[in-house]
């Protein structure tokens, strides 16, 4: 097989410019790729795994993006059989710049040949794959390479999905998403999309190469609106959770909001999944003047020290809860909030007022009303001692650390590399905190990565390896143009909790 990288060319350029750094491509011994394509495989040198979401750009502004296996299928008639420079860029992965500030490699594209680019990872978390949308393994397929079982280039017409919720339910994983883009028309499904997949046993099936979703569809094969409500506007479900009732059967609930606009809610309450009808049905309407009362954000069930099972809601932190029984779930006034009591100088659970949130806590501390040792949401970046305000998070118990783990994205900050795209890790003794030391585990410069969700059911090695995903989108960001195929879809990450880089945030 012809070597795809011209080492002589690189050496000549290094001598000519004297301060250019070496490139990081090498000949790929295998596999043989399918003509007329030249295969470029971008891998993480620490793991050897392919890196999704890597941009390769030629000097004439032609761009390619690696698929979930880290492959690009390249076949430009005017650029084959000669040396070509590719700029290489990916969120959280980068080369050091050469003497002129360029970050890239020289390759020699030949039909049927391939090359590997080893791209250093600076994220602590490892990006694994894109879970939703079209063409997840597009380039691998074009190159004739083996594809993961059950994965499709277009599943149920879905091209984009926003904000995931998922829980184990009736022996499977039950997934739901918000607004969903489809291939057949610019407007897709705005009344919630759902799917199921296999529930892992001892880490299998692994999600590392994707999840083969079984979408709920209508008789015509189109996506089924899963939260149909009378009245216009999108319907969003959050705070999804399952409980086991006294009769031993499971029940699945979620909070619903029907929106006139992004910020204006015209209806909210609780929906319950109807197993026979295969949709969510409204079971309670709540007062619009008290939006804090009800399931929210990412829900998780906890058996508290008093022996009562409660559902906690991370929105963005766990400062609301309700007893895990249907009577309480459907009673808006049964929801409790975690509130700072200035008289008692401590946090208490109450039912009559909204919770004390992170920004309010910061104001109480600045005014001297709250002592520093009472604060529960004082998240501080361990690297520069700066406060971190959380926009959204997912909280879960971790057996390996014997702590509660928070994975959260940072609220927009003018000094941050992105708006909603910086992802943080923290630990606490309780699901409500106190959350203190935090460390950044993933970055998405000039892009958004919001509503992160942990997946404890995917964890392996006793919880040492955990997984989380989030919505990768140009929405609310400074991105000049959306990333083809990846935009408005879910990216999956892997985090090894024994990584020494996390130690500063682990106690």
Q: Is the peptide bond before 205 cis (omega within 30 degrees of 0)?
A: yes
Ranking 23-32, 40-49, 252-261, 357-366 by mean pLDDT, the lowest is: 23-32
DSSP annotation of 505 reads G
Across the range 263-280, mean pLDDT stands at: 96
Across the range 76-105, mean pLDDT stands at: 97
Q: In what order do the strands lie in the sheet with 165-169?
A: 165-169, 172-177, 193-198, 214-215
- Residue 96 confidence class, pLDDT cut points 50, 70, 90: very high
**Alpha carbons 289 and 43: distance in angstroms, whole number:** 51
pLDDT at 329 over 90: yes
Q: Quick check: helix, strand or coil at residue 202?
A: coil
Mean of per-residue pLDDT scores for the chain = 93
For CA atoms 327, 329, 335, 338, give the dihedral sign.
positive
The per-residue DSSP string of 345-396 comes to TEEEEESSSPPP-HHHHHHHHHTTSS-GGG-S---EETTT--B--EEEEEEE
Task: Quote the pLDDT of residue 262.
Answer: 77
Task: Quote the pLDDT of residue 5.
Answer: 43
Pairing of strands 279-285, 437-442: unpaired
Across the range 261-287, mean pLDDT stands at: 95
Cross-strand pairs, 116: 26, 41
**Alpha carbons 199 and 455: distance in angstroms, whole number:** 11
pLDDT at 229 over 70: yes
pTM: 0.94
Cross-strand pairs, 193: 177
- Residue 29 confidence class, pLDDT cut points 50, 70, 90: low
Q: How many Å is the Cα radius of gyration of the chain?
A: 24
Cross-strand pairs, 196: 174, 214
Is 402 within 8 Å of 393 (Cβ atoms)?
no
Cross-strand pairs, 88: 56
Question: Tens digit of pLDDT for each residue in 330-381?
Answer: 999 999 999 999 999 999 999 999 999 999 999 999 999 999 999 999 999 9
Dihedral angle at the C-alpha atoms of 232, 234, 239, 243, nearest 10 degrees? 60
Task: Quote the pLDDT of residue 453.
Answer: 98
Burial class (CB in 10 A: 0-12, 13-18, 19+), 265: middle
Q: Which fold has domain 7-142?
A: Immunoglobulin-like (2.60.40)
Across the range 176-189, mean pLDDT stands at: 96
Which residue spans within 4-78 are E strands per DSSP?
25-27, 38-43, 55-57, 63-65, 71-74
Domain boundaries, the chain: 7-142, 162-315+318-347, 377-507
**Alpha carbons 246 and 243: distance in angstroms, whole number:** 10
Percentage, residues of the chain above pLDDT 90 = 90
Task: Quote the pLDDT of residue 2.
Answer: 36
- Residue 480 confidence class, pLDDT cut points 50, 70, 90: confident
312-324 burial, b if ≥16 CB within 10 A, otherwise e?
bbbbbbbbbbbbb
Residues 6+ apart with CB under 8 A from 223: 156, 157, 158, 180, 182, 188, 189, 193, 215, 216, 217
Q: Quick check: helix, strand or coil at residue 16?
A: helix
Task: Quote the pLDDT of residue 27.
Answer: 53
Q: Which of 109, 70, 102 is nearest to 87 (CA)?
A: 102
Is 119 within 8 Å of 17 (Cβ atoms)?
no
Which residue spans within 15-59 are E strands per DSSP?
25-27, 38-43, 55-57
């Amino acid at each position: 097989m012809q070597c795809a990288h011209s080492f002589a060319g690189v050496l000549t350029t290094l001598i000519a410019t004297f301060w250019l750094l070496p490139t990081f491509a090498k000949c790929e011994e295998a596999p043989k790729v399918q003509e007329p394509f030249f295969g470029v495989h971008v891998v993480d040198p620490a793991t050897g795994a392919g890196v999704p979401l890597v941009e390769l750009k030629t000097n004439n502004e032609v761009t390619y993006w690696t698929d979930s296996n880290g492959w690009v299928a390249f076949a430009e008639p005017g650029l084959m059989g000669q040396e070509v420079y590719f700029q290489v860029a990916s969120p959280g992965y980068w080369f050091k710049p050469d003497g002129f500030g360029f970050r890239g490699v020289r390759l020699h594209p030949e039909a049927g040949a391939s090359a590997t680019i080893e791209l250093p990872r600076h994220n602590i978390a490892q990006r694994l794959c894109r879970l939703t949308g079209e063409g997840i393994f597009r380039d691998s397929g074009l190159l004739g390479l083996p594809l993961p079982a059950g994965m499709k280039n277009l599943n149920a017409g879905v091209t984009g999905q926003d904000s995931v919720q998922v829980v184990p339910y009736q022996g499977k994983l039950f997934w739901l998403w918000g607004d969903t883009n489809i291939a057949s028309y610019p407007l897709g499904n705005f009344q919630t999309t759902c799917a199921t997949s296999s529930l892992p046993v001892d880490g299998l099936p692994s999600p590392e190469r994707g999840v083969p979703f079984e979408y709920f569809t209508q008789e015509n094969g189109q996506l089924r609106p899963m939260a149909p409500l009378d009245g216009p506007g999108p319907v969003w479900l959050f705070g999804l959770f399952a409980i086991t009732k006294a009769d031993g059967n499971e029940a699945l609930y979620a909070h619903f909001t029907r929106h006139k606009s992004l910020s204006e809610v015209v209806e909210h309450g609780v929906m319950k999944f109807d197993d026979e009808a295969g949709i969510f049905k409204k079971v309670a309407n709540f007062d619009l003047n008290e939006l804090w009362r009800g399931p929210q954000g990412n829900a998780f069930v906890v058996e508290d020290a008093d022996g009562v099972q409660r559902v906690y809601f991370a929105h963005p932190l766990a400062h609301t809860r309700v007893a895990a029984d249907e009577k309480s779930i459907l009673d808006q006034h049964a929801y409790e909030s975690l509130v700072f009591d200035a008289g008692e100088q401590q946090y208490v659970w109450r039912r009559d007022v909204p919770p004390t949130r992170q920004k309010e806590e910061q104001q109480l501390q600045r005014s001297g009303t709250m002592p520093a040792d009472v604060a529960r949401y004082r998240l501080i970046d361990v690297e520069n001692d700066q406060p971190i305000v959380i926009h959204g998070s997912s909280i879960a118990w971790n057996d390996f650390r014997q702590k509660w783990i928070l994975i959260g994205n940072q609220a927009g900050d003018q000094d941050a590399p992105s708006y909603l795209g910086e992802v943080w890790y923290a630990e606490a003794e309780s699901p409500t905190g106190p959350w203190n030391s935090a460390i950044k585990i993933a970055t998405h410069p000039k892009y958004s990565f919001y509503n992160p969700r942990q997946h404890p059911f995917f964890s392996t090695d006793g919880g040492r390896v955990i997984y989380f995903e989030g919505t990768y989108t140009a929405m609310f960001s400074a991105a000049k143009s959306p990333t083809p195929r990846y935009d408005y879809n879910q990216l999956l990450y892997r985090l090894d909790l024994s990584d020494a880089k996390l130690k500063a945030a682990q106690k």
